[in-house]
Amino acid sequence: MHNRYYQLYMKTLALIIGNNEYHKGAELTNAINDAKAIYQVFERLGFDIISKYNSTANDCSDLLADFENKIVSYDASIFYFAGHGYELDGENFLASIDCQIPPQNKYHAGQNSIRLSEILDIYRKNTNKINIAIIDACRRSFERSGNVTLAPMFAPKGTLLAFSTSPNEGASDEGFEGHSIYTGALLKFIGREHISVEELFKKVRKTVYALSEGKRTTWEHTSLINDYYFNTGQLVHSITIPYDEKVVKDIDYLDTDDFGNLIMEVKSQNWYKQNPAIDKLLKISVNQLNKNQLFILGRNLLQASGAARSAAIFMESIGTNISRYTVDGENHLLNGILFEIYFNSHGEFRKEKTKNYFFQKIVALRKIDSLKSSFDFISNLLKNTTYELIYIPQFTDKYIDINIVASTQNTTNAIGENVTYQVISNITYDGLDITKKIENYNITGLNENGLKQAIAIFFTAPEGLIQIHSNLELQKIAFIKTITEEVEW
């Protein structure tokens, strides 16, 4: 049972510290940026978090006590530190902003820092858990003092120690898109699904080594017994998804109040239940609904519009109907509709097929100023997926140029009539051949507009942005396959 699927039920506690404001000459630029970025990812992963930025000497004992008290209720823990670190007499210290860099002596260091051994002592008391310590320290000190480094350490049972540098190396506070090289690399991989913690840090090591041109090598020591994956598919919460998990992963949605019961009726796929439920939901004043209720209502209106009359009527006139749901510049109902187009009931991107119900009417709203925030919402979300989309809904448009190669062919149809087709042999977008994909849309006999509609569906894009460039005027199109089948028939 020690595998990534077990982790769906694991609770993780994180302690995050980032320190910039050291005394003059030792200030750092990116430690807090790094800590806050890690915080955001951990929040999206559903971890519970203790955090402190610019921690003082007085904060150190409180943070350790809080971490030690809470860790017993969790299955896994992560300690992340970004700031100055150093070694004295074989002891590793993580400096608060009150600490001199380099420290005056080990007594001063002990009063103004967290000893890494204190974290490991907490871990030794909890060896039945998965414990990870990530130290982005030994950052570059002020020029006149060079680098202060950390001593090597070994992980107690059930623990992985990860350092931004190998022993006796200094680290950089900059170098990766507003982050240290180490945390910048970590952020690139930590949200990927189903990467084991060991594999993740190996990827980080390769990235840091390459970006530093071989000057820095990250270092880990592990005595983990069980597997650990930061993301087993639960990464749905984000600053770009400001909604509760129950409405983002709405496959598990269950609220027993009046609103929740009506949503369950809409989800029933039974017309006789869906239509009256939708009618009741649409009569509720927007001021009586919170953002999560509006979001899931939008999702289910689109979901039901493929069959339920009441939802289809709403979507047919969405340009008129949607405006009353805008409050303080936000339209959470439209956010839900847009999210449903691209993401399934598990909160995952629809890799195979987006939901195209009423798409052209919905995407036409992108030019309305009062709805701009909704299209910013979905645009930012789609840009953060790992899939390269040809079209992302946003205020600024870019044409999608399609090149067509066709030839004229006269044939006899099934009832003996002579018919002239423009037989398409090649459809390309940006050098990519999509002929077979478009051929599956059953558009034989249609003109250029029919072809444009099929391509718009394929790309989930506005028809108006599809620009056809063909060597022939397309009045009645066919494909080689369909012409052959017709002749053989």
Note the pLDDT of residue 176. Answer: 61
Given 383, 409, 439, the domain boundary residue is 383
Q: What are the residue ranges of helices labelled H in 305-370?
A: 309-316, 318-321, 332-342, 359-363
pLDDT at 386: 62
Distance from C-alpha of 50 to C-alpha of 120, rounded to nearest angstrom: 17
pLDDT value of position 325 = 98
Asked if residue 350 and residue 287 are part of one domain, the reply reads yes
For residues 148 and 59, state if they share a domain: yes
- In a 10 Å sphere around its CB, with 0-12 CB exposed, 13-18 middle and 19+ buried, how is residue 405 labelled? middle
Residue 227 within any structural domain of the chain? no
Is residue 337 a part of any domain in this protein? Answer: yes
Query: Could you tell me if 339 and 436 lie in one domain?
Result: no
Q: Distance of CA 170 to CAs 82, 87, 151, 211, 362, Å?
A: 14, 12, 11, 15, 53
pLDDT at 414: 75
CB of 66 within 8 A of CB of 51?
no
pLDDT in tens, 190-216: 988 788 999 999 999 999 999 888 888
| CA proximity to 171, closest of 213, 218, 104, 103 | 218
**442 three-state secondary structure:** coil
If phi > 0 it is left, if psi is from -120 to 50 it is alpha, else beta; for residue 146 that is left
Is 23 in the same domain as 162? yes
List the domain range (segments joined by +) for residue 284. Answer: 245-383
Query: Both 102 and 218 in a single domain?
Result: yes
Same domain? 363 vs 269: yes
Do 440 and 312 fall within a single domain? no
Give yes or no: residues 36 and 133 share one domain: yes
214 and 361 share one domain: no
Q: What share of the chain is helix, strand, coil (3-state, %, to 5)?
A: 40, 20, 40
Q: Are strands 85-88 and 91-95 parallel, antiparallel or unpaired?
A: antiparallel
What SS3 state is found at 71?
helix
Same domain, yes or no, for 253 and 300? yes
At 209, which CATH number?
Answer: 3.40.50.1460
Distance CA 124, CA 156 (A): 6
In this structure, are 145 and 13 located in the same domain?
yes
Whether the Cβ atoms of residue 116 and residue 131 lie closer than 8 Å to each other: no
Total count of domains within the chain? 3
Instruction: List the chain residues with pLDDT less than 50.
Output: 1-9, 139-151, 237, 487-489
Where is the domain boundary, 190, 222, 254? 222
- Taking the whole predicted model, whether its pTM rises above 0.75 is answered as no
Please tell me the distance from the alpha carbon of residue 177 to that of residue 211, in angstroms, as a whole number: 12
Q: What is the pLDDT of residue 233?
A: 64
The rounded distance, in Å, linking the Cα atoms of 185 and 95 is 23
Instruction: Identify whether residues 293 and 350 lie together within a single domain.
Output: yes
For 224-252, write each residue's pLDDT tens digit.
988 898 887 665 545 568 898 889 989 87
Q: Is the residue at 240 inside a domain?
A: no
**205 located within any domain:** yes
Q: What is the CA radius of gyration of the chain?
A: 29
Tokens of 443: 């558009």
**Residue in the structure block whose two tokens are 């017709």:** 486
Is residue 433 assigned to a domain? yes
